[in-house]
Chain A
Amino acid sequence: MGLIAFLMVTAAITDNGPAMPADVAAEYKKITGTLDYNQHVKPILSDKCFACHGPDKAKQKAGLRLDQSKAAYGPLPESPGMFAIVPGNLKKSEVFHRIISLDPDYLMPTPESHLSLTAKEKAIVAKWIDQGAIYQPHWAFVKPVKKDPPALDGEYAADHTIDRFVRTRLKEMNIKPAKQASKELLLRRLSLDLTGLPPTVEEIDAFMADNSADAFEKQVNRLLASPHYGERMATDWLDLARFSDSHGYTVDRLRDMSPYRDWVIKAYNDNLRYDRFIHEQLAGDMMPQASRDMIIATAFNRNHQQNLEGGIVEEEFQTEYVMDRTNTFGEAFMAMSVGCARCHDHKYDPISQKNYYELFGFFNNVLEAGQISWNEDMPTPTLLLPTEKQEEVIAHINENIEAQENKTMKTISAATRNADEWIAQQGYKKLGTEKIPLPGLMARYLFNGTLVSETDTSKKGEMKYDAGAKGDKPVFTNGRGGQVLLLNGDTYLDLNGIGVFRKSEPFSIGVWVWIPKTMKDGVIFHKSEAERLYNFKGFHVNMKNDRLEILMAHTAPSNAIIKLAEKDVARDKWIHLTLTYDGSSKASGFNLHQDGALVPMEVVKDKLYKDIIFFREKEPGIQIGGWWRGVGFKDGRVSDMVIYDRQLTTYEISVLANKTTWSTLADKNYNDLTDNEKKILSSYYLMAVDTSVRNEMTQLKKLRTSLSDSMKGIKQLMVMEEMSKPKKTNILLRGQYDQPGTEVFPNTPTDILPYPASLPRNRLGLAKWLTHEDHPLTSRVAVNRIWQQFFGMGLVKSSEDFGNQGNLPSNPQLLDWLAVEFRESGWDLKKLIRLIVTSETYKQDSYASPALRELDPENSLLARGPSGRLTAEMMRDNALAASGLINKKIGGESMKPYQPEGLWEINSASYKADSTDAMYRRSLYIISKRTVPHPTMATFDASERSSCLSRRQKTNTPLQALVLLNDPSFLEAAKVMGEKMSREANADYAIRMACKKLTGRDPSSKELEVLRALQRTELEKFRANPDKAKGLLNVGIYQIDKNIDRALIASNTIVASTIMNSDATITKR
C-alpha cells in the first residue's frame, strides 16, 4: 500500500504548466538544454506509441498518428476540440494528460498493450512539447552530408579524420583516448580482422623488428593485398546473402552454390567497387555485355531456401521466394525491415504494404518452380558453368553439328532429283494401302478393348495409380465406332517404357482424344515420372486453363520448351492431336497439330539446354490420362495412339487425323498429280524414303546426342533470368499468396528516395537507385557494417535496422562523413578499410578501466580499442593455422570437416567427413546444411543461413567449452602442436612457440609457469599410465610420429589445448 500511496502523490508543478506526478517532475527538472526529436523523443514515441498511432493505416487508433507533425498537431478526429499535441502548450496537449494518467481507461499506452512509459520518458515527452514539439525527418532518410570535424589540440590532438570525430566526443565527455595497443596484440587484431587468420611467428617477428615509422602501414598493405582478405570479407557477406549448400525446408537436399561464394571472394580481392558489387549481384544478367561472372553474381537472389515437400502449393512457395528476395534486398542493402509490410503497412517505418509489393514486383519476374525437384536436379533458371575443356569440346561438337546441318540440307536438295524420279516412276502408288503412315512407326495402340500394341503384341500397356501401383483394370466404353479407353483422372495407362526420346531425337505421337466439357486442367499424356512435379522432366501434352500446352524439359520451368495454345481447345467431341518434334531443342521444332492443322501457340519458354530423360536403367515411358498428385484426364477418352521415331510431314499428319488418305494421291497417275501434290509426295519421299537423307539425319541425331552427352556433366548455378513477358504483381492481402488485391508496378518507397524517371523499372534500375548519389541509406549501411566488422559494433548498433526502431548513430557526424567519403572515393572498400584501421581509434589499447566499463560497457564512445571473442570461423582457422594443418586453398566446393556421427540422420541424410586435407580448409568452406547446422560453427554463433543476417549473437556458453575441449577439429590441432612441441629440446621454448602461434604473443613468466607445471604433471601422468593418452593421440586423421615419446606428445597436446582454451586465444584484444 505504501508504495502505491507514494506513487499517487502528485506534487511538483512545472514552471507554468499543469501538475505532474512527482517522479515525472523530478525527471523533468533534470532535463537541461533542447531536446532533439530524433535522438531523444522518437525512440520513445516509436517504441511505445507508433504501433497504434504510426504509419500503419489499418492499425491507427482513434484516427491519430503521432509520427507526423501535421497529424499530431491537428484536432483529434474522435474528440472534437481536443488536440494530441499543441506545441508549447502542455496543458492543452492530450498526449501529456494521457501518459501521466492513473486511470486505466484513460492511460496511454493502454494497459492491454503491456507497454508503459518510465517517468523519465514521460518527462522527455513533456519537455519536448513544452519546447515546441518540433518534429524532424528520420535521420537515416536524410541524405548524409560530409562535414569536416573540428581541429583539436592537446591530448585530443589528431590528424586522422576518424580520430578527430571520435575525440571531439571524448573531449566533451572529458574522457581520454587510450594509448596504442602493444605491437603484438595490434598485429593479431589486424591480421584476424583483415584476413581472419592469425599472424605467423615469422610475421610477428618481422613486425616487432620493424622500427620504421610506417611499420604498421606496411602490415596493413600486406594484409589488404593478401588473397585471404577476400575470404575474410566474404564470410560476413555470406551471412547477408544467406549463402548455403542446402535448399532448407523439410527435406533439405544439398545444392552447390560455391561459384557464387568464389565470386564474392574474388570481388573483394579485386576490390570491385561497392556500387558495381551491388549492381552485379542484383542485376548482373541485365547489364550490357553481361559476362559469365556478372551472371554468377546474380545467384545472390537465388540463395534463398526452396521447398520440395510433396504436398506444398506451387504458388505459395513461388511467392515465398520472391518475398525472401524482397526482404533480403531491404535488409542487406538498406538495413530496412521491409518484410514487416508484407501483411500490413509497416508499424514503425514509412513503408506501406503497397510499397512492399511494388518492391516485390522487381523480383517477381523469374520463371521458377515453387516446388522444386524431388531429385538432385538444380532448380531453374540456371547458368551452365563449363570448364575450359568442356567449353572446347562443346564448341567443337557445335561446329560439327552446324556442318552436318548444312550437309543434310545439301543432301536433301541433291535428293530432290531422286524424289522427282520416285514420283515419276509412281513409287507412291504403294502408299495407297497405308491407312496410316508406316515408316518409323514404333507402336500403335488402338485401345479398342485391349492395351496391347497392334504392331507388336509383346508391347502392352498397364493401368497404374499413384507412383506406379498396379492392379486396376482398364475401363473401355463405346466411341469412334468401337471401344475406346475411358479414364478417371487418377488411374493412368503406362505404356511401360515406350516413347523414350532424348532431346536430340525426332519423334511424333498421334492420338485421338475426347475432352469433356467439365475439364479445365489436366494432363492428356506425358513422358516422365509418375508423379507430377513442377520441376517436370520429359515431355507432355497438358490442358492448362482450357488451353493445350506442350512442354519438353530437362527441369521445368526454365530449362525447357513451353508452348501454350492461343485458343481454347474443343471439348465434348473427338479430336486428333499430333505432337511432332525435329530433334533441334528449339521451340520451332516442337509442335502440336489438331485435326491435321498446326495449332497456333505462344512460346512461353525456348531454352532447353540439357537432356529430357533421367538416364536410368528403367526409363519411364509415355503415360496416358493421369499422374500421381496431378490433375488427370478425368472422364476423358482416348483412342488409337501412334508413336513414330521421326518427324511426320504435314500430309501424314492429315492422314492420321482422317482429314485425307494416302489413296487420294496414290490412286492418281503421275500425270494427274498437281504441283502441290507433287510437293507433298516429294517431301514425304525425302523425309521417309530416301536413304541418303535418312543417313544424314541419323548422323545429325548422333552429333546432337553427343552434344547432349557432353552437356550432362556441366555444372549449373541458379541465377536470375527475366521472363520475356513481365509477370503481373498484385498486393497480397494479409500477405497470402491466394488473396490478390490491387495490381501494382515496380517502384521504391518515396520516403527513402523517389525513383528517378531516368531509371528503367527493372532490377538494373533498382540497383542503380540504390547507389544513386542521393540515396540516404546505401553508403551509410555499408560503412556501418564495415565498422561493425572492425569494432564489433556498428556506429549504428542495430546494423540490421536503420528504421525508427533501430538504434541512433553513436557518432552521427562520423557515420555521415564516412558514408560520403566512401561514395566519393568511388565506393572503394579497401580505401575505406585502410582509413579505419590506420586510425588511432582502431589502434587503441582495448583495456577498459572499471569506471569506463561502467560508463560505456559497449564501447560506443570508442575511448578504447575493439576487443571480443573470435568468430566461429576464426576460432577454428586460428587453431588450424597455429598447428600448421591449415589448407589455404581458396575457393571451390564446400568441404566436410569432422562432425559427430548421426547428426544429419534426423534429416534422413548421412554425413561423411572428408578424408583428405580438404577437411583442413578454412571454415568459410564448411558445408552448410540449413536444417542441421555444423555444430562447431553453430555453437559459436555462426548463422544457419536461413535468412539474411546482419549481426551475429555473441554468446558465452558451456557448450562452447565442450567444443574447444573435445571437438576433434580442435583436439587434433592441439595434438599436432603437441607433436611439434615434443621435437623441441627446450620445453620452455616449445611452450613459448605454441603460445605465440595461438595467441600472437609471448607468454608472460606467470603464464609460462602455469603451463610448465601443467606439462610436468601431465607428463608424469601419461608416463605412469600410457593408456590415458590413447584417445588424445588417436584423435583425427593425422598420424603422429611413432619415434617420439607418446607421453611427451600427450602432455604437450594438453598444454596446447589449454592455451587454445584460454582467453588469450579466444579473445581478440
Chain B
Amino acid sequence: MGNHHHDEKRLAGEDLKGLYQKIDRRNFLGRTAMGLGAIALQQMLPLSSSGATLEDQIMKALPSIAPKAKRVVFLFMAGGPSQFETFDYKPKLQPLYGTQLPDSIRKGQRLTGMSANQSSLPVVPSTYAFKQHGKSRTWVSELLPYTAQVVDELCVIKSMHTEQINHDPAITFFQTGHQLPGRPSIGSWLSYGLGSDNKNLPAFIVLISKDASKDQPLYARLWGNGFLPSEHQGVQFRAGKDPVLFLKDPEGYDGADRKEMLEHLRKLNEIQNEPWGDPEVNARISQYEMAFRMQTSVPEIMDTSKEPAEVFDLYGPASKENGTFAANCILARKLLEKDVRFVQLYHQGWDHHGGLPKNMEQQCKQIDQPSAALIVDLKRRGMLEDTLVIWGGEFGRTVYSQGKISPDNYGRDHHPRCFTMWMAGAGVKPGFNYGATDDFSYNIIKNPVHIHDFQATLLHLTGIDHEQLTYKFQGRRFRLTDVHGHVVHDILA
C-alpha cells in the first residue's frame, strides 16, 4: 500500500499494472524458463530506473504458478494447542495412564528447560472423548463440537513438526521461517510478492483476540516486515475507537473537515514542489489520499453491527462483542470479502503446562464455533474455493505430564516433534487427513510436514514458487523458506 523507492529492486505498482496489461503471464511464462521470458521482455518494456534486471523484478513480482488462493486467513493459536485433546486420537494411551514414557519412544532428544529436569515423565491420555465425524470419518474430540460438523471441509495435518521448543523462537520461526528476529513474516512476503488488490486497505491485517487469556505474550515483529520495505508490514486492526493507530481525527473534526484541510495541504505541497519537481512529493500526496480513504474504509469495515442476526447466531454469542475471537472471525470474513490478501488472527492462551483440562475447555469453547462458522460463512458466499483458511499453533504438546498428574488435572510441555493443524478452502483436499504419529503422538510415523514445507505449500497455493520469491539483503538472497521446504503435493486438491 505504500510507495517504497530507491533501495529494493521491485517493480512499482504502476509498472506491474502495465505489465499485466501487456502480457498474459501464464501463457508467457508458462513452460519457458524465466530467464528466456525476461530477456524477451526487455525488448518490450523499458527498464525501470532501479537498475535491477527486469528478469529479477519479474521473478519477484509475478506468480509463476496458477494461484488457487486469492487470500489467506490464518487463525493462529498462540501458545501451542495440545493435539491430544483436539484431533490426534490416541486410544492406546488409556491403559498406560501414569506409566513412564518409554525411552524407545523418547529417544533421548532434548526437552525444554521446564521438564528436562523432571525425574519422571508419566504418560497422560486425553481426558476427553473422541468420535469420528463426517464422510471423512475424521476423529475430533468432544471439545470441538462445531469443528466436528465441518470436518469434511478440512484437511487435517497430524504430522506437523518444527525444531523450536520454546515460544519465542517457535512462533518467530512459524511466522518468518527463522527462529531469530529480523525476517519478514508470511503476510509481508505475500504482500511483497503479490501486492494488494484493495486500494483502501493494507494487504496484511492482524487481529488479536481480546478474550484470550494472555499467558504468553505476542510481539509486533511477528507481523513485521523485517528487511522488506515497511509498506509490507502487517497492520493491526484493533477493537475500539481507533482501529488503526492515529486513524481517527480529533473529536468533532469530521471527514469533510479533514478533506478540506487535505485539499489545502495538497495545494501547498504542489506549490512547494514547483521549484523541485520531486516525484517523492507526488507520491506523498497520494499517500495522504490513501490515508484519507482508510479513515472512511477502516471504520466501515470494523463496524459489524449491521450484520444480520443469523450471522451472530452462526459465529456464536461472543461474536457480538468487539475484539473477541468470534467477532474477529466475522471481521476477517469482511476483510476477505474486500480482497485483503492476508488476515492473521491471534488467539493466545494455549500454553497449558498445568491445569490443562480446565484451560482447554475454555480455549476450545472460544474458538470452536467461530472457526467452524468462518468455514461455513465463506463457503456459502462462494469464497471458500479461493480463500485458504489455516488453523494451528507453533508446536504441539508432550504425551507426558509436566508436573503432577491426577485424573482431572495435568499439564503438557512443549512438543516440537509432532502437532496438528488444519487447512481448508482454496486448493487443499477437503475432508482429508494427512500424516500420522505413533501411539504416543510423540514421533511422526507417516508423511512429516515441516514448517518450511507448510510455508512452501502456502506460497504455492497463492501462486508463488517459494524458491523464487526472494529479497536481497546484506548481500544475500533471503526467502521465507530459507534454503528448505517442499510443497506438500499430497494435500493439494
Contact = CB atoms under 8 A, between A and B. Distances in A.
Interface of A: 3-4, 6-7, 23, 104, 111, 114, 116, 118-119, 248-252, 305, 307, 309-314, 320, 337, 340, 347-348, 371, 465-466, 469, 471, 488-490, 532, 629-632, 634, 738, 798, 800-801, 803-806, 846-848, 850, 853-854, 857-858, 867, 869, 900, 902, 905-909, 930-933, 935, 938-939, 941, 944, 946-947, 953-963, 965-967, 971, 1004, 1006-1007, 1010-1011, 1013-1014, 1017-1018, 1021, 1025, 1027-1032, 1034-1035, 1054, 1057-1059, 1061-1064, 1066-1067, 1069
A469 B404 contact: yes
B250 A1010 contact: no
Contacts of A1004: 271
Interface string B296-309: 00000000000000
Given A250-B167, A908-B217, A953-B229, A965 B249 contact: yes
B3 to A, nearest CB: 5
A515 B278 CA distance: 79
B383 interface: no
Interface of B is mostly: loop
Contact of B252 (A909, A1017, A1032): A1032
A971 B252 CA distance: 14
B257 interface: yes
Contact of B4 (A347, A953, A965, A1021): A953
22 contacts: A114-B467, A250-B166, A309-B168, A310-B114, A629-B114, A798-B474, A847-B275, A853-B277, A854-B49, A857-B6, A858-B6, A906-B208, A932-B219, A938-B220, A956-B283, A958-B287, A959-B244, A1028-B252, A1031-B249, A1058-B261, A1061-B288, A1066-B284
A311 B354 contact: no
> Which A-B residue pairs are the 4 nearest by beta carbons?
A805-B475, A1031-B250, A1031-B251, A311-B112
A955 B474 contact: no
A961 B55 contact: no
A959 B245 contact: yes
Nearest to B413: A311
B231 interface: yes
A248 B181 contact: yes
A1061 B265 contact: yes
Contacts of A946: 181-182, 221
B134 interface: no
B491 interface: no
A1017 to B, nearest CB: 7
Interface string B150-185: 000000000000000111100000000000111000
A1029 B113 contact: no
Given A955-B2, A1011-B268, A1031-B250, 4 more contacts: A634-B119, A935-B246, A1007-B272, A1021-B257
A251 B283 CA distance: 39
Given A312-B166, A1004-B271, A1028-B253, A104 B33 contact: yes
Interface of A is mostly: loop
A955 B268 contact: no
B220 to A, nearest CB: 5
B119 A489 contact: yes
Contacts of B39: 7, 23, 118-119
Interface in B225-246: 229-231, 235, 238, 240, 242, 244-246
B467 A958 contact: no
A489 to B, nearest CB: 3
A469 B403 CA distance: 10
Contacts of A111: 33, 35
B267 interface: yes
A337 B473 CA distance: 11
Nearest to A947: B182
Given A900-B245, A1021-B257, A907 B265 contact: no
Interface string B194-211: 000000000000001000
Contacts of B280: 869, 956, 1067
B92 interface: no
B34 interface: yes
A846 B166 CA distance: 51
Nearest to A1065: B272
A801 B4 contact: no
Interface string B271-293: 11101111111011001101100
A120 B168 CA distance: 46
Contact of A944 (B221, B251, B271, B276): B221
A803 B475 contact: yes
Nearest to B38: A116
A250 B216 contact: yes
B450 interface: no
B14 interface: no
A320 to B, nearest CB: 8
A869 B283 CA distance: 13
A388 B31 CA distance: 76
A960 B287 contact: yes
Contact of B246 (A801, A932, A963): A963
- Which of B36, B248, B250, B251 has the most chain A CB atoms inside 10 A of its CB? B250
Given A311-B413, A959-B245, A966 B268 contact: no
Contacts of B467: 114
Contact of A1010 (B116, B271, B276): B271
Interface in B1-54: 1-7, 32-40, 49, 53
B269 interface: yes
B216 A1032 contact: no
Contact of A1032 (B53, B181, B253): B253
Given A4-B36, A310-B113, A311-B414, A1006 B249 contact: no
Contacts of B59: 114
- Which of A800, A933, A935, A956 has the most chain B CB atoms inside 10 A of its CB? A956
Contacts of A956: 2-5, 280, 283-284, 287
B115 to A, nearest CB: 8
- Which of A252, A347, A629, A1027 has the most chain B CB atoms inside 10 A of its CB? A629
B40 A250 contact: no
A309 B166 contact: yes
Contacts of B221: 931, 944, 946
A1029 B254 CA distance: 10
Given A953-B230, A954-B6, A957-B231, A249 B168 contact: yes
Contact of B49 (A340, A857, A1010, A1054): A857
A469 to B, nearest CB: 7
B394 to A, nearest CB: 11
A906 B218 contact: yes
B153 to A, nearest CB: 31
B488 interface: no
Contacts of B53: 118
B468 interface: yes
Contacts of A1031: 249-253
Given A313-B110, A966-B246, A957 B1 contact: yes
B117 interface: yes
A803 B275 CA distance: 39
A1061 B264 CA distance: 11
Interface in B104-158: 110, 112-120
Contact of A250 (B35, B119, B168, B231): B168
A1057 B288 CA distance: 14
B380 interface: no
Contact of B242 (A805, A848, A900, A1013): A900
A1034 B251 CA distance: 9
Nearest to B230: A955
A465 B403 contact: yes
B34 A114 contact: yes
Given A311-B166, A1063-B269, A941 B230 contact: yes
B294 interface: yes
- Which of A310, A1062, A1069 has the most chain B CB atoms inside 10 A of its CB? A1062
B354 A466 contact: yes
Interface string B439-479: 00000000000000000000000000001101000111000
